[in-house]
Amino acid sequence: MTETTLFSPLQMGAVKLQHRVVLAPLTRMRSEQPGNVPGALMAEYYRQRASAGGLLISEATQVMPTGQGYPHTPGIHSDAQQEGWRKAAAAVHSKAGLLYIQLWHVGRISHSSHQPDGGLPQAPSAIAASGTALTADWKSVPFEVPRALELSELPGIVAAFRAGAHRAIAAGCDGVEVHGANGYLLEQFLQSRSNQRTDQYGGSIENRARLLLEVVDAVVAEIGAERAGIRLSPWGVANGSGEDDPAPLYSYVITELAKRKLAFIHVIEGRASGIGRGELGRTDGPSALSLARPLWPGVLIAASGYERDTAMADVAEGRVDGVAFGRHFIANPDLPSRLKLNAPLNPYDRSTFYGGTAKGYTDYPALETV
């Protein structure tokens, strides 16, 4: 029996990966303005990181204007944005890579300066997140108390995720990942800290999971389960998130997702914060893999400050099927090759993670040019 390694092929729904090194979704805030359109620079960024049969998951991409929470993040709700993603997908496909778009609504992790009408951000309940928002003019200010979504508005949010999935496939992308992690809207509905509704979307675990599952069902109805995945962060603390006891909630969610036969689940391990504003500082968090693996029969991807040795071990020992890398993939466009060769890695420059131009984005050297 052949040993499974980080560099073994993997059938993932409708696509076959030639290795298991995945580009994690990474917000970089470099879309073209006006319109939050993926431009030529973004297409080059993804092209550089593409490899034959390698999976790239795009940066979080808002499915509707009210879903934006940061400056210059791309969308997938206009014709111009769809055309921009078409160019990015073509660039990735020129190297035989695969591109999945991460579908996103930030909910309360926004600011009125990003909202189309200058109104308050939307959320399950009128509860402000802890921490600071980044305004449209790049200033850090305390989060505003959001506006609780009306029951009548929720079908429109579900429809926006479905439309985003349709546009992603129409643009030539290979699939989508629903963003259900890191304290954004779908996780805000999941968790009792941010969801204190008294209607059918609040209270019990089943009610709090309703919107996420409705979104998943709509995406599956549009593009098929074999091209859809989801990202979860059961023990995440990003953006004021966190459930006192995540196990019952996420056991229910993962069990329900298993019935839907998605192409993959992508979990952020408990030892990671899930956002890139600082270095990882948690080393003893509970294991999302230990929770998910027994409940999820399909492809399981994990992200969480992995290094080569830990990624190799987790795949070889069957804890995970693929490993998503963030910071190392930013600084090493040819990361799969470097990991396979056990070659040195370029250091990353955190000061260039968000916003800017080519510096710290498309100017990291590949191995043959080092």
Q: Between the CA of residue 321 and those of 159, 191, 199, what are the distances in Å?
A: 31, 27, 38
- The answer as to whether 118 is a domain residue is yes
Exposure on the CB side of residue 113, measured as CA atoms within 13 A: 14
Identify the bridge partners of residue 324 per DSSP, sorted by sequence position: 22, 303
CB–CB of 9/18 below 8 Å?
yes
- The answer as to whether 316 is a domain residue is no
Structure tokens at 285: 């968090």
DSSP string covering 327-341, please?
HHHHH-TTHHHHHHH
**pLDDT tens string for the chain (370 positions)?**
579 999 999 999 999 999 999 999 999 999 999 999 999 999 999 999 999 999 999 999 999 999 999 999 999 999 999 999 999 999 999 999 999 999 999 999 999 999 999 999 999 999 999 999 999 999 999 999 999 999 999 999 999 999 999 999 999 999 999 999 999 999 999 999 999 999 999 999 999 999 999 999 999 999 999 999 999 999 999 999 999 999 999 999 999 999 999 999 999 987 544 444 444 444 455 789 999 999 999 999 999 899 999 999 999 999 999 999 999 999 999 999 999 999 999 999 999 999 999 999 999 999 976 5
Structure tokens at 101: 């778009």
Q: Between the CA of residue 38 and those of 31, 110, 113, 273, what are the distances in Å?
A: 5, 20, 21, 27
- Whether 184 sits among the annotated catalytic residues: the reply is yes
Q: Name the catalytic one among 45, 46, 184, 348.
A: 184
CB–CB of 62/36 below 8 Å?
yes
Q: Work out how many domains the chain is built from and give that number.
A: 1
**Distance separating alpha carbons of residues 344 and 338, to the nearest angstrom:** 7
**pTM for the predicted model, two decimal places:** 0.96
- The answer as to whether 134 is a domain residue is yes
- The answer as to whether 309 is a domain residue is no
Task: Return the CATH number at 207.
Answer: 3.20.20.70
Residue located via tokens 């968000």: 354
- The answer as to whether 334 is a domain residue is no
- The answer as to whether 183 is a domain residue is yes
Residue 57, classed as helix, strand or coil, is: strand
- The answer as to whether 297 is a domain residue is yes
Taking alpha carbons only, the member of 210, 216, 293 closest to residue 251 is: 293
Pairing of strands 132-134, 140-142: antiparallel
Peptide bond just before 71 cis, omega within 30 deg: no
- The answer as to whether 346 is a domain residue is no
**In which domain, by residue range, is 151 found?**
10-15+26-302
Which backbone phi and psi does 210 adopt, to 5 degrees?
A: -60, -45
Residue located via tokens 């298993």: 258
